[in-house]
Amino acid sequence: MEIDEAAANEARDALAVMGRTVTEVLHALDVGDPEAALSAVERVYGGSGKVRRLVRTAVNGRPRTGSGRPRSAPGEMRAKVAGHLTAHPGTEFTPHEVAKVIGHSAGAVSNALDRLVETGEAELVNDRPRRFTTVRPAAAPASR
């Protein structure tokens, strides 16, 4: 079995961040700063699941969908959906329309679109049927 170098590199980066955060926890404990220790240990805990998934992917390869295709990496689906929206500024799409173009399920695309709306990267322009578009840039202030 061969190690997936792209996933291994992501895992290395995430582990380096985790290592620095563990050092923060140890330092906070040494200097008697309970708030900093608790805050840092929560960041270690929060990142541990991602690190575990990255290491497992590096060792075992990317998990497969029911159809046998490799699953998207974390955040990859959102990036694909956002890329499609930004490639067609001003055009409104349903999740199904985006799904047909990028080759993923409408449910997964719908979840990604909801997340993009939460982060302000997309806009829900119609509730029935749900239609989304890119966020319109704010108007530039008038120059004098």
Asked whether residue 30 is assigned to any structural domain, the reply reads: yes
Residue with the bigger pLDDT between 76 and 133: it is 133
Of residues 75 and 77, which shows the higher confidence score? Answer: 77
CB atoms within 10 A of CB 109: 27
Domain termination site, one of 60, 86, 105 = 60
Q: How many domains is the chain partitioned into structurally?
A: 2
| Domain span holding position 127 | 76-134
Amino acid at 8: A
CATH of the domain at 84: 1.10.10.10
Structure tokens at 1: 């079995």
Q: Could you tell me the pLDDT band of residue 141, with boundaries at 50, 70 and 90?
A: low
In a domain, residue 48? The reply is: yes
Q: Is residue 65 part of a domain?
A: no
Determine the average pLDDT of the residues in 27-55.
92
Q: Is the pLDDT of residue 47 over 80?
A: yes
**67 falls within a domain:** no
| pLDDT score of 67 | 75
Quick one: three-class SS letters along 72-141? CCCCHHHHHHHHHHHHCCCCCECHHHHHHHHCCCHHHHHHHHHHHHHCCCEEEEEECCEEEEECCCCCCC
Residue 13 has pLDDT above 70, yes or no: yes
Domain of 38: which CATH number?
A: 1.20.58
Task: Tell me the mean pLDDT in the region 58-80.
Answer: 79
Domain boundary among 35, 60, 85: 60
69 part of a folded domain:
no
